Structure 1
């Protein structure tokens, strides 16, 4: 599993759930300010990621620190290294 695969997988969730243009999805984009997602959208984002990867994110303190798409990519790179079952879902 490589960085590009994580980016494509995470971006596909944002495109499907929030009807965003994939060209807008860059690592520096702030989820609330730049992508115009609100608190309900954030909950939907977490639910979508949990469903896709079969993990519970709500209680993960690192999720609270996520501000940009790059933060989401980094979080999933870390989770995939720690949990092989997550890495398999990126295949």
Structure 2
């Protein structure tokens, strides 16, 4: 799966699930602040990512995830690990 496909799929479910405008989802924007995430929202985010991409995530995977770009990179690396 290409990075563009990962970004498209991710942005679609972020906008839908977290009810934000598409303009909020910017590559360098802070993920937590932009989506107003709390700890329960992170659980929802993990479940949504796992179901959309067929990958398994752990809490430690999010240690270095600050921006949307970081999230796309995380998903891409997990997808490449199972390919």
- Give the alignment's TM-score, normalised by structure 2: 0.84
Q: Tell me the distance in 1 between the aligned counterparts of 2:80 and 2:48.
A: 20
C-alpha distance in structure 2 between counterparts of 1:77 and 1:55, whole Å: 10
Superposed structure 1 runs of 4+ greater than 3 Å apart: none
Give the drift of 1:62.
2.5
Partner residue in 2 for 1:24? 24
Runs (5+) with no aligned partner, structure 1: 85-91
Shift of residue 76, structure 1, vs aligned partner: 1.4
Gaps of 5+ in 2: none
- Count of residue pairs brought into register by the alignment: 83
**Which structure carries more helix by proportion?**
2
> RMSD over aligned Cα, in angstroms?
1.6
- TM, length-normalised to structure 1: 0.77
